[in-house]
Amino acid sequence: MSTRLQNHGRLIDRSMRLEFNWNGKRLNGFKGDTLASALLANGEMLVGRSFKYHRPRGIVASGPEEPNALVGLGQGGKYEPNQRATTTELFNGLTAKSQNHWPSLEFDVGGVNRVMTRFFPAGFYYKTFMAPSFAWKHVFEPVIRKAAGLGAAPDPEERDADRYEYFYAHCDVLVIGGGIAGLAAALQAGKSGAKVLLLEQENHFGGRAPVDGVTIEGKPAQDWIDATVAALDSMENVTIRTRTMGAGVYDHGYALGYERLTDHAPEIAGPRHRLWRIRAKRILTATGAIERPLSFAGNDVPGVMLAGAVRDYMINHGVSVGDGVVVATNNDDAYRTAIALKEAGLDVPAVIDARSTATGPLVEKARAMGIRVETGTAISSVYGNKKVTSVGLCKQSGEGTKTDELDCDAVAMSGGWSPVVHLWSHCGGKLNWDSEMAMFRPDPSRPPLGADGEGFVLVAGTANGHLDAAAAIADGHAVGAQAASEAGFDAKDDAAPLAESEAEGPILAVWSMPQGQNKKLQMKTFLDYQNDVKVSDVRLAAQEGYESVEHTKRYTTLGMATDQGKLSNINGLAVLADSLNAEIPQVGTTTFRPPYHPISMGAIAGEARGGLFKVLRRTPMHDWTDSNGGVWEPVADWRRPYCYQQAGESVKEAVNREILQTRNSVSILDASTLGKIIVKGPDAGKFLDMLYTNMMSTLKVGRCRYGLMCSENGFLSDDGVVARLDEDTFLCHTTSGGSDRIHAWMEEWLQTEWWDWKVYTANVTEQYAQIGIVGPNARKVLEKMGTDMDLSAEALPFMAFADGEIAGIKARPYRISFSGELSYEVAVPAAQGQAFWDAALAAGKEFGITPYGTEALHVMRAEKGFIMIGDETDGTVIPQDLGLNWAISKKKEDFLGKRAQQRPHMVDPKRWRLVGLETEDPSVVIPDGAYAVDGTTRANGVKNMIGRITSTYYSPTLKRSIAMGLVEDGPERMGDTIMFARTDGTTINAKIVDPVFLDKEGARQNV
């Protein structure tokens, strides 16, 4: 059983005892522990159940590559599923639960899947569960879904109790990884004067060097590490961040850092995670290497661990994984584990070495210590269920016939080390297979290319394939200098730090243990622990023709678990290569995709949540509306009031009240969201003639004209009133949602097509509050407010505007109307919008003035048959469809959209065109979006449609329903009754009428 040792534990502080809760048990650990080391210290070898077979699983690794020890961490608004115990720093009060089992970790009903293993090979679900056809969705899928998944979902009614933020950083050299190579690189780059950012995912530096007993400059590695970190700390041009992972590398020198600020200490105030958005001239990855498991039967039994992890837990945390640990290896590094165990007074029954000869200094040292070394030997099988009890031995060259059995309670395995090349590869850096070292390593001649076509990612140290400490630190030193120099700095040409460690003999590539492992053993030999992918599965995939590495991955799910194949990919593709009689590089790797290690959605979203989710544009009267019954609806980035609800009335009642008040007396409208764009210059008229379908250059100063804008594809895109302020200046109103788009559209044409035209534009939408005073008493209200302008019909007729003062505020009333009533839309400086609004309310009090919202506006414009962009138009409608030919100039040679409107489909007389519609029963309102049908059915079974509703309302003014719609031959069918279909199959009869329902002659507005 695993336990805490009396000695070792360089990272823990035994004076700081911490209490935590594991599956309801109260356990203790020390400051400096990870959750994984603390669990092992408490003898908790069994930590979870696997994904497919629900097999018992223990801790395998000591870092982010851990596939098994995923736990549910925290509670309520702090709960997080699938947190890795190996990367979770222990804190007082930590609560964790194991996952993927029912009813308990010890006894899991799903474990029945284990005995069915043989019936669940790779891809079995593609071959069954097919009949009857409804059964997948209703019978099989629910069972499979429930068995799959890992941690429980967070409670949907809880809210994340933490917050998150972004950081932005620009640097010359980004160094990812604070091991000895990364430190040496950062130092070289820092000395050159380059701006350096160094990220380390752990809370300490040095990587494996202190664990492996490396000496640097003749002293223990830790001394050099401490001195180097101190030196970097003192450089103003160097920034260091721990607990910050390099998560991803993106094009043009962009990188993501993922900083975990409070995961280790939830009591700290402030954001939990910070997403670093980094731009670097050069990105240097010194990300180390990850040890590979060996593929022998039973290699997933709790207690079978990576040799390096066994060493880590002992030296870093003072934890032994068992009293008797068998070491299985194909390389010399694992002997370090055997030696360390022995030196700590633990038993090493044997080192099982697959190599026929092993003679390196580490091997000799182990032998000299009395450790039994069995060369040419393999583990035939591990025995034990929830923990290791013994291992069987066999010849590595054979098929697995057991020759001996050794009692033990843990196995430390090492299949060699794979450089962490993820960040190199994210943006297309290529790899070479080094058969001597049995690893993929970066090909420096094929780096990811930056904006300038030069490589922008460099790799150093172990990540670059230098497993030896001396070579790794020298590489870091050299590549650090190279990165600085490529970023434009003069790096010092001084000597690299001298590191020493025991030399290692050659590795033997072992992809199967034993070599000729029989089929029965292959079915118990795991490649991907979390997804339960076995050697037999990969071989089956190859046998069935899933030969591409991507096919094998997807068919078996190899490498698709939350560790993304960090442990399994190389072993898996080696088995695939063997099955196909191909070389490993021919098979190739799957694509490395960000992030290196999962990062929280919270961090990705950053601060932009709730009220900050999206920019909110506010009119000057926003707050007033908010506190006066405004029922908000989102309109583009604005909010507009649907209506102003008074106490005791429904939304619908409010809308009707607002309409009748407007029609009978006077109302006030916040129209500030309307786009307002100044177009100025000698060629402004000529320019607007191209932009609008009608002629704008002939507009008289002081007058307004309604205009239509089309896309170059002919479709109506925006409308609004244009006012000519002076000979060279126009003010173009756009729809609320259109101001930015139309302004950009104007600039696009001016800058990229007619750049020789003398025209300037400015979007002044937010510079003005625009307030509509609408209704028969509108003029009286304005006059009561006090003005220096003559607002009479004679002085200021319909479609004119004037400049002056109202209520002492500089104002420009436009005589324009979207309701058909006497109406003044008054533009005032935005800062005085509320003052004007207040003055208007006060002056209008005697007329019962009330504000009205968007719905009343919509109904009133429909009563008048005015089109609304977005209702009558949808991107497929041309002005001709809407009977707006009067607004399309026939004199102009060209305007945007003119050519498009001449295409055959655009002049097709069968295009649906705008009409008004009155239901037979005036109380029935046709549903929004209903289609007109003629009762026939097309050959393909579709009911024939001859038109559709574009706007439909109950008109309180007319006391009946009204609608507008586009109908085939509509204008020619005035008076005809046609049918509109409801979704339930019933129909509504409606008569085709003129779309202007109210005051066709315009008597109400021309006063």
Partner 1 sequence: MLILTCPNCGIAADETELSAGGEAHLTRFGAGSSDADFENYLFMRKNARGVHFERWRHSYGCGKWFHAARCTTTLEVFGTYPAQTTEPPAELIEKIKQKCPDFEGFSK
Partner 2 sequence: MRRYSAFAIAREAARYHSGWERAWASPEPKSEYDVIIVGAGGHGLATAYYLGKNFGITNVAIIEKGWLGGGNTGRNTTIIRSNYLQDPSAAIYEKARSLYETMSQDLNYNVMFSPRGVMMLAQTEHEIRGYQRTAHANALQGVATEFIGPEKVKELCPIIELKGPRYPVLGALWQPRGGTARHDAVAWGYARACSDMGMHIIQKCEVTGVHRENGKVTGVETTKGRIGCKKLGMVVAGNASALADMAGFRIPLESVALQALVSEPIKPCMDVVIMANTVHGYMSQSDKGEMVIGGGTDGFNNYTQRGSFHHIEETVRALVETFPMISRLKMLRQWGGIVDVTGDRSPIIGKTPLGNTFINCGWGTGGFKAIPGSGWAFAETIAKGEPGELAAPFGMDRFIEGRFIDESVAAGVAH
Residues in contact with 199: Cβ distance below 8 Å, sequence separation at least 6, in sequence order: 174, 175, 176, 177, 178, 241, 244, 245, 246, 257, 276
When asked if residue 146 is in the footprint of partner 2 (CB under 8 A), the reply is: yes
When asked if residue 165 is in the footprint of partner 1 (CB under 8 A), the reply is: no
**Which among partner 2, partner 1, none contacts residue 898 (Cβ within 5 to 8 A by kind)?**
partner 1
Choice between 8 and 54, CB closer to partner 2? 54
When asked if residue 167 is in the footprint of partner 2 (CB under 8 A), the reply is: no
When asked if residue 604 is in the footprint of partner 1 (CB under 8 A), the reply is: no
When asked if residue 555 is in the footprint of partner 2 (CB under 8 A), the reply is: yes
Choice between 85 and 189, CB closer to partner 2? 85
Choice between 849 and 930, CB closer to partner 2? 930
When asked if residue 615 is in the footprint of partner 1 (CB under 8 A), the reply is: no
AA identity, residue 706: Y
The CA distances from residue 417 to 439, 527, 829, in Å, are 7, 15, 69
Which string of b and e fits 446-456 if b means at least 16 CB within 10 Å? ebbbbeeeebb
When asked if residue 713 is in the footprint of partner 1 (CB under 8 A), the reply is: yes
**Least distance CB 200 / partner 1 (angstroms):** 23
Choice between 128 and 751, CB closer to partner 2? 128
Task: At 843, list the tokens.
Answer: 């002056």
**Which among partner 1, partner 2, none contacts residue 535 (Cβ within 5 to 8 A by kind)?**
none
Instruction: Give the count of residues interacting with partner 2 (CB under 8 A).
Output: 116
Choice between 747 and 976, CB closer to partner 1? 747
* φ, ψ at 374 (rounded to 5°): -110, 105
**Which among partner 2, partner 1, none contacts residue 744 (Cβ within 5 to 8 A by kind)?**
partner 1
Separation CA 698–CA 689 (nearest Å)? 9
What residues from 750 to 789 belong to the interface with partner 1 (CB under 8 A)?
751-753, 755
The CA distances from residue 591 to 276, 425, 559, 577, in Å, are 24, 8, 11, 17
The CA distances from residue 828 to 497, 813, 865, in Å, are 72, 9, 29
When asked if residue 908 is in the footprint of partner 1 (CB under 8 A), the reply is: no
What residues from 408 to 437 belong to the interface with partner 2 (CB under 8 A)?
427-428
DSSP code for 227: H
Which span (5-13, 16-24, 249-257, 289-297) binds partner 2, by CB under 8 A?
A: 249-257
Question: Tokens 């080696």, residue?
Answer: 574
Question: Tokens 């522990």, residue?
Answer: 33
**Which among partner 2, partner 1, none contacts residue 155 (Cβ within 5 to 8 A by kind)?**
partner 2
Nearest-CA neighbor of 206 among 189, 192, 224, 218? Answer: 224
Binding mask 874-913 for partner 2 (x = CB under 8 A): xxx-----------------------x--xxxx-------
Rg over CA atoms, the chain: 38
Separation CA 386–CA 677 (nearest Å)? 73
Choice between 903 and 1000, CB closer to partner 2? 903
Nearest-CA neighbor of 602 among 274, 276, 255, 267? Answer: 274
**Least distance CB 428 / partner 1 (angstroms):** 8
Burial of 583 (C-beta count, 10 Å sphere; 0-12/13-18/19+):
exposed
What residues from 266 to 305 belong to the interface with partner 1 (CB under 8 A)?
279
Binding mask 425-464 for partner 1 (x = CB under 8 A): ------------------------xxxxx-----------
Alpha helices in 289-444 (DSSP H): 307-317, 333-343, 361-368, 422-425
Nearest-CA neighbor of 951 among 930, 934, 932, 965? Answer: 965
Interface residue with partner 2, options 13, 155, 920, 921 (CB under 8 A): 155
Separation CA 787–CA 796 (nearest Å)? 13
Question: Tokens 């591990």, residue?
Answer: 382
Interface residue with partner 2, options 28, 82, 375, 1006 (CB under 8 A): 82
Separation CA 473–CA 184 (nearest Å)? 6
Choice between 842 and 945, CB closer to partner 2? 945
Which span (83-91, 245-253, 361-369, 517-525) binds partner 1, by CB under 8 A?
A: 245-253
Q: Report which secondary-structure segment, H or E, holds 626.
A: helix 622-626
What residues from 607 to 626 belong to the interface with partner 2 (CB under 8 A)?
608-611, 613-614, 616
What residues from 957 to 996 belong to the interface with partner 2 (CB under 8 A)?
981-983, 985
When asked if residue 747 is in the footprint of partner 1 (CB under 8 A), the reply is: yes
Choice between 231 and 449, CB closer to partner 1? 449
When asked if residue 252 is in the footprint of partner 1 (CB under 8 A), the reply is: yes
Cα dihedral value 925, 922, 633, 738, nearest 10: 90
**Least distance CB 843 / partner 2 (angstroms):** 32
Task: At 351, list the tokens.
Answer: 């080192």
**Least distance CB 90 / partner 2 (angstroms):** 20
**Which among partner 1, partner 2, none contacts residue 146 (Cβ within 5 to 8 A by kind)?**
partner 2
Which span (261-269, 348-356, 649-657, 899-907) binds partner 1, by CB under 8 A?
A: 899-907
Q: Count CB-CB contacts under 10 A for residue 242.
A: 16
Interface residue with partner 2, options 109, 130, 503, 793 (CB under 8 A): 130
Choice between 509 and 900, CB closer to partner 1? 900
**Which among partner 2, partner 1, none contacts residue 933 (Cβ within 5 to 8 A by kind)?**
partner 2
Interface residue with partner 1, options 203, 359, 902, 944 (CB under 8 A): 902
Q: Count CB-CB contacts under 10 A for residue 841.
A: 16
**Which among partner 1, partner 2, none contacts residue 131 (Cβ within 5 to 8 A by kind)?**
partner 2
Q: Report which secondary-structure segment, H or E, holds 658.
A: helix 651-664
Choice between 902 and 977, CB closer to partner 1? 902
Residues in contact with 368: Cβ distance below 8 Å, sequence separation at least 6, in sequence order: none
**Which among partner 1, partner 2, none contacts residue 291 (Cβ within 5 to 8 A by kind)?**
none
Choice between 901 and 955, CB closer to partner 2? 901
**Least distance CB 704 / partner 2 (angstroms):** 27
Interface residue with partner 1, options 900, 906, 924, 1007 (CB under 8 A): 900
E-state strands within 523-570: 526-528, 533-534
Which string of b and e fits 382-419 if b means at least 16 CB within 10 Å? bbbebbbebbbbbbbebebeeeeebebbbbbbbbbbbb
Task: At 367, list the tokens.
Answer: 């032998």
When asked if residue 251 is in the footprint of partner 1 (CB under 8 A), the reply is: yes
**Least distance CB 746 / partner 1 (angstroms):** 11
Separation CA 126–CA 124 (nearest Å)? 5
- Terminal-residue alpha carbon distance, the chain: 96
Choice between 941 and 975, CB closer to partner 2? 941
Q: Report which secondary-structure segment, H or E, holds 358.
A: none
**Least distance CB 490 / partner 2 (angstroms):** 33
Instruction: Give the count of residues interacting with partner 1 (CB under 8 A).
Output: 28
What residues from 582 to 601 belong to the interface with partner 2 (CB under 8 A)?
591, 593-595, 598-601
Separation CA 690–CA 895 (nearest Å)? 4
Q: Count CB-CB contacts under 10 A for residue 363.
A: 26
Interface residue with partner 2, options 53, 276, 335, 642 (CB under 8 A): 642
**Least distance CB 940 / partner 1 (angstroms):** 28
What residues from 526 to 545 belong to the interface with partner 2 (CB under 8 A)?
536, 540, 543-545
| Chain residues in the site for partner 1 (CB under 8 A) | 250-254, 279, 449-453, 712-713, 744, 747-748, 751-753, 755, 893-895, 898-900, 902-903
